[in-house]
Amino acid sequence: MNSEDQKKIEKIINDRKKAHRFYDHHSTVYQSFVNMEKVTFAEGSLAKKYKELVALGISIRINCESCVEWHIKQAIDSGATEEEIIEAIGVGIEMGGGPATVTARFAMYVLEFYSEAI
């Protein structure tokens, strides 16, 4: 990974932290979203790890780099292996066709960024 890609990933992480100021300002819409996210990704019939892998594939399909970074990190924190993450990236490519390969390349940079955590 080159330094430009690493800076991009770090910027996404920092921007997300700054965005939480909406939550700090008691935005009921943002609070509702955060609550929905907690319920959605809670352990259930599907383990959190698998929910994060599904979300990663969707993130690639919709070309959301911030989502890709978040769901890879959450998948890793939930016990996903590198091989499982790469398979989820593959599903995203298949669902998105050619344009999804661009976001999938970014996903591989994010996986490399977090490789020591796996």
pLDDT of 1 higher than 80: yes
Supply the CATH number for residue 41's domain.
Answer: 1.20.1290.10
- The per-residue pLDDT of the chain, averaged, comes to 93
**What confidence score (pLDDT) does residue 67 get?**
96
Long-range pairs of 78-87 with CB within 8 A, sequence gap ≥ 24:
78/47, 78/48, 78/49, 78/52, 79/49, 80/49, 80/52, 80/53, 81/118, 82/111, 82/115, 82/118, 84/49, 84/53, 85/53, 85/56, 85/111, 86/111, 87/53
pLDDT of 35 higher than 80: yes
pLDDT, one tens digit per residue, over 56-89 is 999 999 999 999 999 999 999 999 999 999 999 9
**What confidence score (pLDDT) does residue 60 get?**
95
Domain limits for position 77? 3-117
**What confidence score (pLDDT) does residue 56 get?**
98
pLDDT, one tens digit per residue, over 8-31 is 999 999 999 888 777 777 788 888
pLDDT, one tens digit per residue, over 47-56 is 999 999 999 9
Counted domains in the chain = 1
